[in-house]
């Protein structure tokens, strides 16, 4: 991993998750070999919605500008297509113009933009009255609430789970209900996820819609629940969502923003 040691001023996350990635049977890792050494890498994750998620693309500084990142991406799509995958997604920070140009060369299009909000470090939150987990009997109403929401439309119809975007199909919504990940209160709905990778753990709200104060109540409830300690807590909100103002008024701050890119395989 010597060629990524200086990424993000030495704060690249890949060294912390490397072992977990190697053990994950639902993903593939690829490397580029040049002059007898490894000079590039990426990861392909096969998600529950049937899509492929590309992440962790890195190229040695001495070998950039030679098309290696594009070669990794194209090979990743070939592997995914061999498994019947038709939808490919990835993300990049809004500031990373160089990556955006390379992504465009692979014929990905911008699907949506999302900002990630987090409470101040040490902020205390507690379970809220009037919040409950959705049941299977709620599924028709939950599907309708999600798929007619502004957040569904402006997010390109996705939720975020373990730092990846997945399509909110009826099947995926039913899966979230079955896992107890859909929270309801009067006027709002949230899909929440607990996760861990490497030494870190988190609680994230991957989809949030509804009236502002009610939406914040769901966030406070989830972040305040007892259970496994979370190192990080954050909320994904598509840019343009009306819940963003409520999150800010509740004291949450924007941590970072991302662009979601998507490519669909040609039919036939």
| Domain shared by 170 and 250, yes or no | yes
Model pLDDT, residue 10 = 65
| Model pTM score | 0.93
| Domain shared by 154 and 216, yes or no | yes
Model pLDDT, residue 9 = 64
Class of residue 34 by CB neighbours under 10 A (exposed 0-12, middle 13-18, buried 19+): middle
Domain-embedded: residue 96: no
Three-state secondary-structure class, residue 146: helix
Model pLDDT, residue 124 = 92
| Domain shared by 124 and 251, yes or no | yes
| Beta-carbon count within 10 A of 261 CB | 23
Model pLDDT, residue 246 = 98
| Domain shared by 80 and 175, yes or no | no
| Domain shared by 189 and 71, yes or no | no
- Which residues span the domain enclosing 22? 2-85
Please choose, from the candidates 97, 112, 96, 103, the residue with its C-alpha nearest in 3D space to the C-alpha of residue 165.
Answer: 112
Q: For residue range 78-100, what is the model confidence (pLDDT) as tens digits?
A: 999 999 999 999 999 998 888 89
| Domain shared by 120 and 54, yes or no | no
DSSP letter, residue 81? H
Could you report the average pLDDT of every consecutive run of 10 residues in the chain (268 residues)?
Answer: 68 84 92 89 95 93 89 93 96 90 92 97 93 98 98 98 94 98 98 89 96 98 90 96 97 96 84
Model pLDDT, residue 199 = 83
Model pLDDT, residue 61 = 86
Helix axes 97-105, 68-82, angle to 10 degrees: 50
Whole-angstrom CA distances from 48 to 45, 96, 152 are 10, 28, 18
Domain-embedded: residue 174: yes
| CATH number of the domain bearing residue 9 | 3.40.630.30
Model pLDDT, residue 4 = 73
Token pair 């972040």 is found at 223
Q: Enter the tokens of residue 172.
A: 């995926």
Q: Enter the tokens of residue 40.
A: 């590039």
Model pLDDT, residue 8 = 63
């Amino acid at each position: 991993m010597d060629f990524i040691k200086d990424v993000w001023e030495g704060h690249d996350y890949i060294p912390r998750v490397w072992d977990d990635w190697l053990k994950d049977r639902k993903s593939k890792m690829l490397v580029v070999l040049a002059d007898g050494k490894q000079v590039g890498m990426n990861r392909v994750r096969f998600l529950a919605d049937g899509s492929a998620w590309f992440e962790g693309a890195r190229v040695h500084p001495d070998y950039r500008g030679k098309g290696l990142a594009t070669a990794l991406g194209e090979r990743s799509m070939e592997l995914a297509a061999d498994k019947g995958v038709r939808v490919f997604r990835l993300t990049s920070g809004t500031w990373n113009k160089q990556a955006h140009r390379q992504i465009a060369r692979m014929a990905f299009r911008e699907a949506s933009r999302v900002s990630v909000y987090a409470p101040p470090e040490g902020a205390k939150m507690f379970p809220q009255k009037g919040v409950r987990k959705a049941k299977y009997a709620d599924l028709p109403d939950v599907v309708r609430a999600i798929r007619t929401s502004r957040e569904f439309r402006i997010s390109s119809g996705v939720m975020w789970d373990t730092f990846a975007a997945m399509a909110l199909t009826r099947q995926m919504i039913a899966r979230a209900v079955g896992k107890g990940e859909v929270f309801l209160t009067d006027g709002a709905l949230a899909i929440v996820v607990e996760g861990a990778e490497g030494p870190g753990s988190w609680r994230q709200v991957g989809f949030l819609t509804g009236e502002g104060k009610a939406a914040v109540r769901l966030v406070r409830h989830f972040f305040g629940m007892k259970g496994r300690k979370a190192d990080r807590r954050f909320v994904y909100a598509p840019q343009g969502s009306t819940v963003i103002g409520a999150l800010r008024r509740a004291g949450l701050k924007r941590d970072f923003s991302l662009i979601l890119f998507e490519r669909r395989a040609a039919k036939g």
